[in-house]
């Protein structure tokens, strides 16, 4: 007997609420052959990436270790790491707020836990650390972005959705900043996203009067010697606020307005496709040999939104409610705690399935264009996360769709105890106890998680005929593999887990409650 699918009444009519997850594309070419004359040797611009926080290199609530972003990891395997240009965020743990940075500073003063009698002193310490971060980026060395002499190859900017990439420019970002206030209460970096963006975009004075946007910068790179591979990874921020805010507000009139769109947490698929078509038209103008379009992951899998209780049924993907990971099942109150329902989560995932169908359609049309075929590919970021989904599929065999297979982790990761998974990160005095693929914000990957993303994109690039070069300039033979043993040594969370991040996530809950209570804002929730 087939169970009836409960449809959340707020869901737009354009969203087909599907009983099972969309089947990922297994052939990046969609079975369509494209014959193009490609010049011998690599292009001048070997790799350019357009995207959001996943492309920029966001971890644990901040963009900081950008040399470990997936684009830089790919550039290293191309033998092009020194030539690959990317923004840097070197101080105070990055922008806007690095949870790992804050946690480790608290551990220096209070050890593995904050006891009740230490709470007042810990609150003062928290305020001091956040004041240090605010001062660095608003008045200190981080206040003035560097005047980059050349356009960056990594053009990812956290929190940007399709409309931001289409319309936001360096001039708009500069105008958003203004004169910061040294607020004694609300000690968060003002205009953090605009500050981060200005380290990515070419400085004002280059390009049009209002400054360049991301697409302008990519087009300029293509005009300067051609781009070999362009990766476009966008769309997550058209749905991610549903799990960050635990609120489902469908896009309506104003979805394509830079100011009005902030009221929405998930885009109606009709609106998403409209924006996607505009984006595809702009990407066609960029001189690139190969373009890889990435599908949008199902955001409800991210462990920031934890399913409460048991699944609706053994064969269901969904829990009755989703709330913060530090709220235990026995403490959860659906009328008081932030949450979304199973019906809302299913509707959001169904909308994302529509987004991904539209992305595939864009690639199919480009490859099928008889007059001007394009060597465009689909990369299944959605399928990759689905195959790593611990609570949704790995722990629930009856919920697995027929196409589902577990993702085979690289040997150095499988050798770890416990094996990294997609649960929320937890550790204690003896080391990591759970998680490992997501950083402390519960949305963005750890360093090894970015390595997995880089590895799978390399597979698509190799399919496109991209050659990977060793440091000595020779062409690599066979498949190119990320050195995960070396990457593990650079992953601070897996190499040296913070002992205070215990399985009950008590410190994270304390940080969230305390920061909100003393007027610092919600410090533990990431800005995408």
The predicted structure's pLDDT at residue 181: 66
Q: Taking all residues of the chain, what is their mean pLDDT, rounded to a whole number? A: 91
Mean pLDDT of the 171-196 span: 80
d(CA 97, CA 525): 9
pLDDT category, 361, cuts 50, 70, 90?
Answer: very high
pLDDT in tens, 452-471: 999 999 999 999 999 998 77
365/350 Cα distance (integer angstroms): 23
- Residue by residue, DSSP assigns 72-116 as HHHHHHTT-TTT-------STTSEE--HHHHHHHHHHHHTT---G
In a domain, 158, yes or no: yes
User: What number of CA atoms fall less than 13 Å from residue 421's CA on the CB side?
Assistant: 16
Provide mean pLDDT across the span 56-65.
Answer: 95
Residue with the larger pLDDT of the pair 142 and 528: 142
Which of 237, 255, 334, 353 has its CA nearest to residue 295? Answer: 353
pLDDT of 3 reads 57
Report how many domains make up the chain.
Answer: 1
Q: Is the pLDDT of residue 513 over 50?
A: yes
Pairing of strands 227-233, 288-294: parallel
Measured distance CA(76)–CA(418) in Å, rounded: 29
Token code pair at residue 386: 């689905």
User: How far is it, in rounded angstroms, from Cα 93 to Cα 96?
Assistant: 9
Average pLDDT over every residue of 83-103: 94
| Residue pLDDT, tens place only, 277-323 | 999 999 999 999 999 999 999 999 999 999 999 999 999 999 999 99
What is the Cα–Cα distance from 433 to 108, expressed in whole angstroms? 21
Residue 461 lies in a domain: yes
User: For residue 230, is it within any domain?
Assistant: yes
Provide mean pLDDT across the span 30-53: 91
Task: Spell out where 157-219 has E strands.
Answer: none
pLDDT at 528 over 50: no
State the Cα angle at 386 between 380 and 392, rounded to 5°: 170
Res. 527: pLDDT tops 50 = no
For residue 169, give its domain range: 45-517
Question: Which residues have C-beta within 8 Å of that of residue 401, sequence separation ≥ 6?
Answer: 20, 21, 23
In Å, what is the CA distance from 294 to each residue of 51, 408, 490, 498? 10, 20, 26, 33
- Cα–Cα distance, 157 to 331 (Å, whole number): 37
Read off the tokens for 444.
């963005």
User: Does the structure show a pLDDT above 90 at 337?
Assistant: yes
Among 64, 68, 56, 179, CA closest to 133:
64
- Diameter of the chain measured on Cα atoms: 73
Across the range 153-178, mean pLDDT stands at 96
- Residue 6 maps to a domain: no
Q: In what order do the strands lie in the sheet with 376-379?
A: 154-156, 45-51, 227-233, 288-294, 376-379
3-state secondary structure of 340: strand
Tokens of 56: 């920029």
Contact 167, 501 (CB under 8 A): no
The pLDDT score that the predictor gives to residue 518 is 42
Determine the pLDDT at residue 106: 86
- How far is the C-alpha of 318 from the C-alpha of 321, rounded, in Å? 8
Q: What's the rounded mean pLDDT across residues 364-392? A: 97
In percent, the amount of the chain with pLDDT more than 90 equals: 77
Does position 117 have pLDDT exceeding 60, yes or no?
Answer: yes
Please say whether the beta carbons of 22 and 356 come within 8 A: yes
Residue 76 in domain:
yes
**pLDDT reading at 79 higher than 50:** yes
Any domain includes 30 = no
Model confidence over 209-259: pLDDT tens digits? 789 999 999 999 999 999 999 999 999 999 999 999 999 999 999 999 999
pTM score: 0.94
Structure-block tokens of residue 221:
């790179």
Orientation of helix 447-463 relative to helix 381-388, angle to 10°? 130
| Residue 148 pLDDT class (50, 70, 90 cuts) | confident
Whether residue 527 is contained in a domain is answered as no
Q: Give a yes or no: residue 12 inside a domain.
A: no
Q: Is the pLDDT of residue 69 over 50?
A: yes
Q: Tell whether omega for the bond before 418 is within 30 degrees of 0, i.e. cis.
A: yes
């Amino acid at each position: 007997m087939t169970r009836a699918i409960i449809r959340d009444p707020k869901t737009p009519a354009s969203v087909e609420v599907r009983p099972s997850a969309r089947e990922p594309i297994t052939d990046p070419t969609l079975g369509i052959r494209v014959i193009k004359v490609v010049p011998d040797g690599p292009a001048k611009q070997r790799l350019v990436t357009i995207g959001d926080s996943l492309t920029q290199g966001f971890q644990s609530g901040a963009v900081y270790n950008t040399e470990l972003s997936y684009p830089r990891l790919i550039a290293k395997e191309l033998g092009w790491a020194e030539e690959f240009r990317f923004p840097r965020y070197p101080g105070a743990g990055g922008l806007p707020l690095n949870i790992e940075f804050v946690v480790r500073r608290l551990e220096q003063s209070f050890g593995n836990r904050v006891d009740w009698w230490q709470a007042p002193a810990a609150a003062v310490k928290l305020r001091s650390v956040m004041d240090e971060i605010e001062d660095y980026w608003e008045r200190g060395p981080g206040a003035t972005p560097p005047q980059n002499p050349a356009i960056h190859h990594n053009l990812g900017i956290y929190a940007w959705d399709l409309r931001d990439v289409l319309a936001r420019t360096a001039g708009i970002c500069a105008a958003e900043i203004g004169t910061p206030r040294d607020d004694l209460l609300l000690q968060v970096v003002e205009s953090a996203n605009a500050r981060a963006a200005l380290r990515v975009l070419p400085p004002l004075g280059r390009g049009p009067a209002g400054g360049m946007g991301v697409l302008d910068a990519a087009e300029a790179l293509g005009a300067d010697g051609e781009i070999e591979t362009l990766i476009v990874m966008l769309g997550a921020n058209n749905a991610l606020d549903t799990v960050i805010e635990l609120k489902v507000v469908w896009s309506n009139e104003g979805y394509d307005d830079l100011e009005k769109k902030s009221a929405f947490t998930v885009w109606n698929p009709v609106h998403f496709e409209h924006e996607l078509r505009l984006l595809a038209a702009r990407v066609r103008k960029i001189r690139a040999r190969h373009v890889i379009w990435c599908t949008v992951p199902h955001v409800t899998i991210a462990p920031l939104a934890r399913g409460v209780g048991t699944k609706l049924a053994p064969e269901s993907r969904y829990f009755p409610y989703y709330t913060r990971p530090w709220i235990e099942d026995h403490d959860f109150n659906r009328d008081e705690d932030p949450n979304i329902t199973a019906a809302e989560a299913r509707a959001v995932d169904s909308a994302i399935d529509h987004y991904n169908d539209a992305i595939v359609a864009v690639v199919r049309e480009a490859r099928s264009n008889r007059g001007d075929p394009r060597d465009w590919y689909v990369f299944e970021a959605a399928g990759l996360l689905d195959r790593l989904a611990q609570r949704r599929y790995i722990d629930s065999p009856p919920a697995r769709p027929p196409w589902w297979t577990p993702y085979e982790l690289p040997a150095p990761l499988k050798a770890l105890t416990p094996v990294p998974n997609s649960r929320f990160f937890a550790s204690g005095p003896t080391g990591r106890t759970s998680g490992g693929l997501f950083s402390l914000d519960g949305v963005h990957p750890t360093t090894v998680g970015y390595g997995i993303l880089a590895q799978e994109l390399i597979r698509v690039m190799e399919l496109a005929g991209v050659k990977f070069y060793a440091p000595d300039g020779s062409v690599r033979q066979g498949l190119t593999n990320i050195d995960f043993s070396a990457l593990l040594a650079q992953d601070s969370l897996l190499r040296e887990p913070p002992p205070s991040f215990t399985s009950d996530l008590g410190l994270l809950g304390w940080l969230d409650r305390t920061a909100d209570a003393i007027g610092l804002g919600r410090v533990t929730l990431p800005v995408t």
